[in-house]
Amino acid sequence: MTNPLTPPVPPRYEPMRGLALWGEEEKAAAVEVLESRSLFRYYGPALQRRVEDFETRFGALHEVPHVVGVSSGTAALTCALIGMGIPAGAEVIVPAATFIGCVSAVVAARGVPVFADIDESLTLDPAAWEPLVSERTFAVMPVHLNNAAADMDPILAVARKHGIRVLEDAAQACGVRYRGRPVGSLGDAGAFSFQLEKNITAGEGGAVTTGDPLVHDRAARYQDQGGQFFTSRGGERGGTEGGPFLGANLRMTEIAGALLSVQLDRLPPMLTRLRDIARTIRKELSDLDVTWRALPDEEGSGGDLTLLTENRMAARRVVTQLTAAGVPAATLYQGRMVYQNPAVHSGRTAWDTEWTPPSRLRTSEALLGRSVTVALGATMTDDDVAHVIDSLRAALVPAGAAEGAR
């Protein structure tokens, strides 16, 4: 263990993706919007329509006809649930290993989360969530975690069997594919995040993707105060099927749209490079008895490098040793299930207690707790890759198979 009084070792490389590639193009795009004095997406003295352009290009990249740019990934999940028509009090099944925004979105849409086990992919176990289906179940929310897709084919099969909606949380997987298809295009809707650490970023932002025009119409109206400006554009962007309803203000700004549009062309080659880096590292360590995270589709991943150690103590030791060597590493979510957050566990929302404490999922807790993820950065050099390989070997070999690798 390192001395707590010793200053932390700075990372050898920037553990960022989209942000690491920022340059003059982002600056020029933002300045152009500022000089237009038209920062609001629906009107202005010289409107650039940057959000609309981003929506069109993002839809083409993800092979969906409809996209709604919004203010965050959590907003995207909320708008998608509203778009799909979630009834008040309906249940949404979510994996136990995920970000709290999944739960927040379900609550914001007046739903109730139900927590399901993960498997060695660290995503929703396709065999574990069907027993949780009840007459109150409205949707399931598979999470594409850390740039790897959940195993969607069996998830979709169970959902179709029970008539359940599928909302893909692709916040951590922009540009990732599953068996040839982009994540966010497989279910009834997808939700993306453009927060600072994501594959493309505007600091904040999100998007809803869908092939269903009614889901799109409802999601777009909800993020715009129920359609304050969206519906005023008539046939160009959609109608008002189902009658008017109240919404919220979750709109994306023109600056965010401009910044994100710049980065779209960089996304596929960046993910290819990161996927190649991850593959190289695993190959160079193939002589070790390492259990890597299961990837339902390695060819479509965005460069995940996560291993499963023997236990939590081994995971802490490996993380400590890697970070001391300047390699950015961590256990996902510090090894905590989302239901272990005190507010989530107690079902405390801003207005009431909405559910009783869920049962512990000890298999999922054990899997997440013994995980170690190495963050791969978009500007990594070949020397950085070699350093990660050497550092992982040093962290795994001395402790032997019982501690460092399985």
Same-domain pairing of 170 and 57: yes
Res. 4: pLDDT tops 80: no
Measured between alpha carbons, how far is 28 from 34 in angstroms, rounded to an integer?
10
Structure tokens at 381: 């050099």
Same-domain pairing of 62 and 136: yes
The three-state secondary structure class of 60 is helix
Q: What is the CATH number of the domain that holds 371?
A: 3.90.1150.10
- Our count of domains for the chain comes to 2
Q: What is the CATH number of the domain that holds 255?
A: 3.40.640.10
Looking at residue 8, its pLDDT comes to: 76
Q: Decide which of 265, 280, 295 is a domain's last residue.
A: 265
Same-domain pairing of 256 and 324: no
Measured between alpha carbons, how far is 259 from 296 in angstroms, rounded to an integer?
32
Same-domain pairing of 40 and 187: yes
Give me the helices (H) in 122-223, please.
Answer: 152-162, 213-223
Same-domain pairing of 260 and 176: yes
Q: Decide which of 221, 239, 265 is a domain's last residue.
A: 265
User: For residue 288, what are the contacts with CB-CB under 8 A and spacing of at least 6?
Assistant: 393, 396, 397, 405
| Residue 90 falls inside a structural domain | yes
Looking at residue 388, its pLDDT comes to: 98
CB-CB contact of 285 with 393 (8 Å): yes
Handedness of CA 359, 95, 197, 34 (dihedral sign): negative
Measured between alpha carbons, how far is 225 from 229 in angstroms, rounded to an integer?
8
Measured between alpha carbons, how far is 197 from 377 in angstroms, rounded to an integer?
10
**Domain extent at residue 308:** 266-403
Mean pLDDT in residue range 171-186: 98
Taking each continuous run of H as one helix and of E as one strand, the counts in the chain are 13, 13
Same-domain pairing of 195 and 285: no
| Location of structure tokens 């949707």 | 139
Mean pLDDT in residue range 211-235: 87
Same-domain pairing of 322 and 212: no
Q: Decide which of 247, 265, 283 is a domain's last residue.
A: 265
| Residue 15 falls inside a structural domain | no
Measured between alpha carbons, how far is 122 from 275 in angstroms, rounded to an integer?
18
**What letter represents residue 164's amino acid?**
I
Measured between alpha carbons, how far is 241 from 5 in angstroms, rounded to an integer?
62
Mean pLDDT in residue range 241-268: 93
Same-domain pairing of 242 and 319: no
Same-domain pairing of 242 and 232: yes
Looking at residue 401, its pLDDT comes to: 47
Same-domain pairing of 306 and 320: yes
Indicate the pTM of the whole model: 0.93
Handedness of CA 170, 175, 181, 185 (dihedral sign): positive
Same-domain pairing of 87 and 212: yes
| Residue 1 falls inside a structural domain | no
Mean pLDDT of the chain: 93
| Residue 150 falls inside a structural domain | yes
Residues 17-71: tens digit of each pLDDT: 999 999 999 999 999 999 999 999 999 999 999 999 999 999 999 999 999 999 9
Taking every pair of Cα atoms in the chain, the longest distance, rounded to a whole number of angstroms, is: 67
Same-domain pairing of 245 and 288: no
| Residue 327 falls inside a structural domain | yes
| Residue 8 falls inside a structural domain | no
Phi, psi of 357 (to 5 degrees): -55, 130
| Residue 329 falls inside a structural domain | yes
Measured between alpha carbons, how far is 171 from 213 in angstroms, rounded to an integer?
22
The three-state secondary structure class of 141 is coil
| Residue 6 falls inside a structural domain | no
